[in-house]
Structure 1
């Protein structure tokens, strides 16, 4: 294998476009014939992914590895932090939980994790020609800059040149770039070899005088101005635009997704949102429920606290009313647990509340156990009825991430000896994340709804995996057209 090279992408702030830039660069390098892998030493996100060997990692790095057309591996994201509420985070190290900590305790712990990070990176260094690293937040948060393991500190650990990404859409882009560079130490600033400006609306010619003045001031080239564009690639965290109100497709099927306070793995809804006649609305109040064709209660990092919250807001009562009207309701993971008779947390895994009644729409109960289930899933549907009748024999793939164990008198509808999924009339509960990524399952469910509304039945034109790869190819084209790829290769080769 050729000598390993790397490149790090940091941003002027959270949401500046680091993840999408890394994804696009990974796709470009792969298409140019290189073996390439992503890396983010520490990620804080509730959208996670389970690898083939049962390790948990950030969803963004999983999608980036898909852009490289390699299997996601835990060492691409050795530290994943998952906020659980009450100022605590669950710490995932090398794909496995090592427990919950408050910020102060984690700050003391992370100093000892540098060797784990370097061990993880060595897997990439030994097996891939190029690594594209991603930073987190801003690289110049001076109050927490000591012992940095994810931004410029990470770049120094692996001797990586750096590209700084800035978001022009939120305003103040020149000040954010100059300010970020000014707050860097001289040795850090020397690593920054270029700037990319993201999300520009309008003609780049109008921006050129400002770019010339910027380059003269900072002495670093602007490698490109990427326009604002619509692209449907899974998001990393709550900064997503998908939580904005109704997408206004003015089409047939309306889906209300309950936006839980600790919503996790909301990428489960991406396959639904990709359907041309499906409109997704993330619901935060009771009055928004009532006219939809499908309700989805998604995953949660703190089921009991989120169950308590939707009861206090009146959302729970509106879901129950909708169920009585016959509206199909699908609960995924934490949402599945919420649909049951009660949720118990005797060990305080997620909450100080030991027990709370659920919505009572499924005759099951959940106990939060100390051991966490993290596994990819593949199975066959069986004993289906209600909204899922005619689905017997369908193969379902996805993954599971849950602390709870659910039991009850409802019939499990997979050929497993544990509760993975169940259906009761118009109510569906499942632990399978990515359930809607299964084309046949989703087509049949949506066609049931279409038929009830007098709409024509239809079939998806492609699988969600195919759809994702098409979107990644679109990203590659956009980035090649708007950034200086030749200059980026020079930066890679100039180490």
Structure 2
């Protein structure tokens, strides 16, 4: 007999705040002493997380597990969809590649298998935990997709979970989106909705009160909370929708300008998150050569389609600008995963793993050559990194389809107990690695930034923030914020009553 008490959060649209509210409730229930797990049956995201046993899941579920104080498993996100080309994605099942599928083929051919995979994972979690916090995707009112959806009301029925609907008031039209969503639900599904939460509120709550009263009277559905917008919450983003908050322009008030290339298939861009906490750094995402200007640090992040994103760099003029900046300035260039591959001399994909384009010359800044392979590497990694005449113990995770081989002039970046990983130029102004979370290593990040400061004639800054400690504090800050503005006890009561009534 399943023992867990479930709750599900669905939204009126993408980026309404489902992931962050789910994270908050994972922390809140864990603080109350409940053994709690997150669950998202199917996640479409290019930001990944590697479990202890070397499996790949959506980053949001990994972070939610951390908030709950548990180790993440693939049961918490059994199906991960990673878009790689237009209308095509790599399907990850229980942390391993299942295959590349077109959208229509996935919908028509994978549905029954997906149902079984989801049910099995849900059963495991329901029997192992006391609270299950379930996150939906997009909107439950996507009527063109609902006959074969695998992530919203069908999952709520499977888990027998009550649903809380989240609306984002920051976008405007929150009452229309909430009412419209409720009206488009099937009657049986509408009965599952025990309340709504209005998210990202700014302003005077008294001005919103008449709208809240109207909504409750019109729909009969209670408002369980109005959550004010919470700035500077440094918890990993789920997908590239969040990149819209970043500017491409320099901030002259900051001493270190960090530019990140935002190519079309950018992935695992959460690698840059620690820089967002640094007092002297400004991070901007650029898509054109004109936006690049003259940064102090340029990061080429991960990519789900290295060759086609490399082609984008060349066709956009970014590749030419990057090479020119390296020759004419003190720019430091770092490539992570796909970005590391692009910095090499050549990328080959003879099996068409990511693209029908079989070969592309790289930027030629590092003496490596990469070949895409069908077997995916997903592993937690650690080693000793040598930089600026010093050594640093670093930890991270690897997720990549390609393998890179050394060419003449190769200099390793990281020694992994005898296995050499990554590559750097002799001047250390260009280096790359497969290590995601490289910049989460505080001592190395401090030295990298202070080397940049030294080149600019600035005094070093010491005692920089510990990113992992700051993230733990962010979980507590988020939980406290939600507890202040959401009726937690009423939600828990409704969760219990819902099970009794069913």
TM-score (norm 2): 0.95
Contact 1:197 1:226 in 2 (8 A): yes
- Aligned residue runs from structure 1 range 129-140, under 5 A: 129-140=130-141
Cα distance change, pair 237–460 in 1 and its aligned pair in 2 (3 A): farther
What per-residue deviation string (whole Å, max 9, x for no partner) do you get for residues 123-170 of structure 1? 211221100000000001111101322100000001000000000111
What per-residue deviation string (whole Å, max 9, x for no partner) do you get for residues 229-274 of structure 1? 2112110001104444348482211001001110000000001121
| Secondary structure of residue in 2 paired with 1:198 | strand
For residues 6 and 86 of structure 1, what CA distance do their matches in structure 2 show?
Answer: 36
Give the CA deviation at 1:420: 2.2
- 1:149 aligned partner: 150
> In structure 2, which of residues 379, 383, 390 is the aligned counterpart of residue 379 of structure 1?
383
- 1:251 aligned partner: 254
- 1:237 aligned partner: 239
What per-residue deviation string (whole Å, max 9, x for no partner) do you get for residues 96-137 of structure 1? 111100011111212222121111112211221100000000
What per-residue deviation string (whole Å, max 9, x for no partner) do you get for residues 37-84 of structure 1? 100000000000111101000000111111101111111000000000
Contact 1:249 1:278 in 2 (8 A): no
- 1:408 aligned partner: 406
- 1:45 aligned partner: 45
For residues 158 and 328 of structure 1, what CA distance do their matches in structure 2 show?
Answer: 50
- 1:31 aligned partner: 31
- 1:222 aligned partner: 223
TM-score (norm 1): 0.96
For residues 234 and 398 of structure 2, what CA distance do their matches in structure 1 show?
Answer: 23
For residues 286 and 420 of structure 2, what CA distance do their matches in structure 1 show?
Answer: 28
For residues 245 and 467 of structure 2, what CA distance do their matches in structure 1 show?
Answer: 18
- 2:364 aligned partner: 360
> In structure 1, which of residues 395, 410, 421 is the aligned counterpart of residue 393 of structure 2?
395
For residues 249 and 372 of structure 1, what CA distance do their matches in structure 2 show?
Answer: 42
Give the superposed CA RMSD: 1.5
Give the CA deviation at 1:454: 2.3
For residues 414 and 279 of structure 1, what CA distance do their matches in structure 2 show?
Answer: 27
Q: How many residues align?
A: 489
- 1:198 aligned partner: 199
Give the CA deviation at 1:418: 5.2
Contact 2:165 2:196 in 1 (8 A): yes
Contact 2:278 2:465 in 1 (8 A): no
Matched, 1:346 2:350: yes
- Aligned residue runs from structure 1 range 9-408, under 5 A: 9-107=9-107, 108-230=109-231, 231-240=233-242, 241-246=244-249, 248=251, 250-324=253-327, 325-381=329-385, 384=386, 388-392=387-391, 394-408=392-406
Unaligned runs of 5+ in 2: none
For residues 126 and 187 of structure 1, what CA distance do their matches in structure 2 show?
Answer: 26
| Secondary structure of residue in 1 paired with 2:118 | helix
Cα distance change, pair 137–52 in 1 and its aligned pair in 2 (3 A): same
For residues 313 and 352 of structure 2, what CA distance do their matches in structure 1 show?
Answer: 20
Give the CA deviation at 1:414: 2.4
For residues 491 and 423 of structure 1, what CA distance do their matches in structure 2 show?
Answer: 57
Unaligned runs of 5+ in 1: none
Contact 1:407 1:419 in 2 (8 A): no
Give the CA deviation at 1:191: 0.3
Cα distance change, pair 421–461 in 1 and its aligned pair in 2 (3 A): same
For residues 242 and 365 of structure 1, what CA distance do their matches in structure 2 show?
Answer: 35
- 1:456 aligned partner: 459
Give the CA deviation at 1:318: 0.8
| Secondary structure of residue in 1 paired with 2:224 | strand
Cα distance change, pair 228–137 in 1 and its aligned pair in 2 (3 A): same
Give the CA deviation at 1:491: 1.8
For residues 146 and 223 of structure 2, what CA distance do their matches in structure 1 show?
Answer: 26
For residues 242 and 420 of structure 1, what CA distance do their matches in structure 2 show?
Answer: 34
Cα distance change, pair 110–418 in 1 and its aligned pair in 2 (3 A): farther
**Segments of 4+ in structure 1 off by > 6 A?**
none
What per-residue deviation string (whole Å, max 9, x for no partner) do you get for residues 203-234 of structure 1? 11110001001000110100011111211211
